[in-house]
Amino acid sequence: MVSAPVKICMILLFVFLLFLDPGPVNGSADNIDSDELMIFVEAGTVDIEEKEISPWWKWTSMDRNGNFIHDSIDKAHDGSNKLFHVYVDLVKPQNPDIIEKIRNVGGEISYICKYINTICIRNVTYNMIERLLAIDEVVFVEEQPYLSINLDVSARNVEARPSADYSPKTAWELGYTGKEVVVAVLDTGVDDNHADLRNKFVAGYDCSGNYGVAWTTNPDDKNGHGTHCAGVIMGTGDPNSDMAEREYVGVAPDARLVDVKVLTDIGVNLGDHLIMGMEWCIENKEQFGIDILSISVGTGGGGDDGTNANAQTADAAVNAGLIVVVAAGNEGPNNDGFSSVAASDKAITVGAVDDGDTVTRDDDVIADYSNRGPRRTDNDNDILEELKPDVVAPGTDIMSCMYSPRPVGFVTGYQQMTGTSMACPHVAGVAALMLEAKPGINASKVKHLIRKTAEPKGTVYNNDISETYSHEYGFGRVNAYEALREVMEDYQTVMITSLGNDDIIGAVYEIKGVANNEEQGALQYVEIKIDGGEWYQAQGTYQWSYTLDTEGFENGEHFIYARCYNGRNHSDEDRVKVIFNNLILLITSPEKNAAVYGDEIIITGRTKGINLEYIEVSINGRGGFKAEDTSLVGDFSIWHFQWITDGFPEKEYTFQFKAGGNDVYSRSTSLTLKFKHPSSKDEGSSIPFPWIGGPILSGILIISIAKRIKNKR
């Protein structure tokens, strides 16, 4: 057994190791043997736990205090019987029993949504809201937003129609003008008596009145906003002159119109009317051939994260096969993100530039009123959803069709309007051109290609997220010609399948994925890059892989990108955010090749990394031993291994130490010691803890370690 003096020395040494950040006993970190050194991760604030997949109402930014009531309702609640108009969100689709429970609470049910699990209610008190939340099926109560209304030069500016500056590289000169594409304009109604909109009307629906009762199937416009927007999309200009001579022509002059009136004649309404209008378009998509929704209405205030009922309905419309284009809003430049439908994950959100009344884009600048991005996070793993606006288009002093207050007769007047409301229909028109060029292309591809072909402008927001996105201009100024050229090519995609966002990897990792191209056999190669580094070719194409040695990078957060090439152009990039976690594992005492003896030998060390659970130990290849993780000093875990030497003969022993745990990557670290039993102490061997003078030598060792640590720091 070990004597009392030696035990005291060992305890003193152990205490010092607990409270100090020891350096390696063999000198500076630069001199550590390579087999002892592993790159370590700075834990920082990175949350390495895989995010629990949970319903949106548990993490929406609309509910900062976690009471499942929209923060704006809490803020407005003053203890009185103030009335609110709300969306009641359900955990599952409504049924008669749920509706009856909600009806019994009070208020007026104004609309029961068909494509999202929401019921629209007006005139409820805060107390009634709390009673609504007591219903098992009710998971969240939102405040209904109030909606409001937020082409000669501009159609040429986006390279739609021919011009001296951009011909022959324009969309019309490629032969596309939006033929047979149907665009629904959800607005104040459209005066389709205007000569520029003659013979375009397909169908209509007026849900601007109380509780969505349709007044007419061909709404009229007594405000002018909707007619102006329709003219930007599909206005034909003066029908009495040749097309080349017409001034105020829309982006897709051969597109057709579905008129959905969601705002009153004074240009305002509650948010449930917009939900009614969008859902009517979903229901009647096939009957009237609706392809695109152009929505130049919105709510002020911002702060939404895409989980509000209007945004979710827009997502439902995209899921149903409709392209949804929305105005970004006019609260810039210091807006709080985006609001209502503009925050939708899947819609194309459009900001505005001032084109300076010139065809060329060199002098285009972001309009002061245009909402800036990004959107508030919805706390899921898709960062790209937050990159709003998607693109920008001309929105200042746009000349387009003017409505007529007269009930009958064609009019030919024009007027100027300004706002992201005017930018939105430009992009809806570009989408119509793309649909004519490639019928059946889905909404996600249209959004992707409009983003991809936009002309970047402004300061990049975050290179690690996107190399082109600017918080002012989004992915850039929309370009109809480039979008059409891209859509006419074979569409290609690439996806990383072996990794998800926030996965932890290390050592040598094989990244795997898939790629696709509409023309089979056209893909030539797939490339991979890490962060802002160089592109490296992967093995294979449609099924591909790339072997990545993570030890060549610093530990922590990294972005892995993939793209493919089909001989003409590169695909959009897929990207995942991962964490490299190659653990450091160091032995701090005793030194290598030291001579030791005793019934118990203590070996100490330190590690740095995340997810460390244990340290495996083997002695001359014999496994089954584990070290103890005793404490945390700073960022380091201090550990020790107690070797009970009974039964081990005198000879040289090699100890192997390897860290383990979930997603822990560590090389083994070795230590060789020459062991003698205590009875051999007089045979002239060098031992660190002799029977005589043990306390003195141990104290010297402790002081030496402390000095080295101090020097290291």
The 10s digit of each residue's pLDDT in 131-165 is 999 999 999 999 999 888 764 444 555 656 566 66
Contact 52, 372 (CB under 8 A): no
Picking from 598, 593, 592, 588, the residue whose alpha carbon sits closest to that of residue 702 is 588
> Are the beta carbons of 338 and 347 closer than 8 angstroms?
no
Q: Which of 70, 85, 194, 225 is catalytic?
A: 225
**Domains held by the chain: number:** 4
Return mean pLDDT, the chain.
Answer: 81
Looking at mean pLDDT, say which of 20-34, 194-208, 352-366 comes out highest. Answer: 194-208
Distances (CA, A) of 40 to 154, 283, 483, 506, 701: 55, 56, 45, 11, 27
Q: Can you read off the two tokens belonging to residue 204?
A: 């209509």
Residue 231 lies in a domain: yes
Give 125-130's long-range contacts (Cβ < 8 A, gap of 24+): 125/81, 125/82, 125/83, 125/84, 126/73, 126/77, 126/82, 126/84, 127/81, 129/69, 129/73, 129/84, 129/86, 130/69
Q: Is residue 537 part of a domain?
A: yes
One domain, residues 169 and 183: yes
Q: What is the pLDDT of residue 254?
A: 94
Give me the CATH number covering residue 425: 3.40.50.200
CA distance 348 to 338: 13
Same domain, yes or no, for 26 and 102?
no
Which residue from 612, 609, 503, 607 is spatially nearest to 558, judged by alpha carbons?
A: 503
Give the residue from 265, 304, 378 showing the smallest Cα distance to 145.
304
Instruction: Pick the catalytic residue from 400, 421, 571, 698.
Output: 421
The token duo for 127 is 């107390």
Q: Are residues 570 and 593 in the same domain?
A: no
Comparing 38-47, 73-82, 247-256, 352-361, the range with the smallest average pLDDT is: 38-47
CA distance 458 to 455: 10
Q: Which segment of 60-64, 350-354, 488-492 scores lowest on mean pLDDT?
A: 488-492
Same domain, 70 and 132: yes
Using DSSP, state whether 70 is helix, strand or coil: coil
Q: In which domain, by residue range, is 157 found?
A: 147-488
Is residue 46 situated within a structural domain?
no
Question: What is the domain-level CATH number for residue 657?
Answer: 2.60.40.10
123 and 172 fall within a common domain: no
In a domain, residue 175? The reply is yes
- Which of 488, 513, 546 marks a domain boundary? 488
| Per-residue pLDDT reduced to its tens digit, 639-676 | 888 888 888 888 999 998 888 777 777 777 888 989 88
The token pair that represents 458 in the structure block:
């402004």
Residues sharing a CB contact under 8 Å with residue 662, sequence separation 6 or more, in sequence order: 611, 613
CB contact set of 215 (below 8 Å; sequence gap of 6+): 206, 208, 209
Instruction: Report if residue 178 sits inside a domain.
Output: yes
Active site residue 558: no
Query: Do 418 and 276 fall into the same domain?
Result: yes
Q: State how beta strands 414-417 and 398-401 pair.
A: antiparallel
Task: Return the CATH number at 124.
Answer: 3.30.70.80
Structure tokens at 142: 């939102």
Average pLDDT over residues 301-330: 92
Q: Are residues 96 and 233 in the same domain?
A: no
CB 259 within 8 A of CB 189: yes
* Domain limit, last residue, from 144, 164, 188: 144
Same domain, 354 and 384: yes
Residue 252 included in any domain: yes
Edge-first strand order for the sheet with 574-580 is 503-505, 574-580, 556-565, 525-530, 536-537
Token pair, residue 309, equals 């009922």
Is the same domain home to 452 and 497?
no
The reply to whether 425 falls in a domain is yes
- Statement to judge: residues 317 and 414 lie in one domain: yes
Question: Could you tell me if residue 363 is inside a domain?
Answer: yes
> Could you say which of 63, 89, 187, 272 is catalytic?
187
Q: The pTM is what?
A: 0.64
Mutual orientation of helices 420-437 and 443-453 as an angle, nearest 10°?
Answer: 110
Residues 496 and 607 in one domain: no
Say whether 194 is catalytic: no
Q: Tell me, yes or no, whether 385 and 407 share the same domain.
A: yes
Q: Is residue 187 flagged as an active site residue? A: yes
Tokens of 439: 């019928």
Cα–Cα distance for residue pair 124/129, rounded to 1 Å: 7
Q: What number of helices (H) and strands (E) belong to the chain? A: 13, 33
Q: Which residue has the tokens 């109380």?
A: 210
- pLDDT recorded at residue 16: 41
Of 450, 471, 488, the position where a domain reaches its end is 488
